[in-house]
């Protein structure tokens, strides 16, 4: 059951990193939309 917990934690971490990465890219590509 430890592997299940580890895989879940890794999945959550990747999801958070991906969301922040996409948010950063969106802010860089569309600064006007982000500021508004």
- pLDDT, one tens digit per residue, over 17-32 is 999 999 988 888 877 7
H or E element: which one contains 21?
helix 2-29
**What's the angle, vertex CA 30, arms to CA 10 and CA 14, rounded to 5?**
0
Give 2's DSSP letter: H
The better pLDDT of the pair 28, 33 is held by 28
Under 8 Å between Cβ of 27 and 34: yes
Residue 36 within any structural domain of the chain: no
The total domain count for the chain is 1
Closest by alpha carbon to 27, among 35, 19, 16, 15? 35
Residue 30 within any structural domain of the chain: no
Residue 34 within any structural domain of the chain: no
Q: Which domain holds residue 15?
A: 1-25
Residue 32 within any structural domain of the chain: no
| This prediction's pTM | 0.59
Residue 33 within any structural domain of the chain: no
């Amino acid at each position: 059951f430890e592997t299940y917990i580890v895989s879940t934690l890794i999945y959550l971490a990747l999801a958070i990193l991906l969301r922040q990465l996409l948010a950063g890219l969106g802010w860089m590509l569309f600064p006007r939309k982000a500021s508004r």
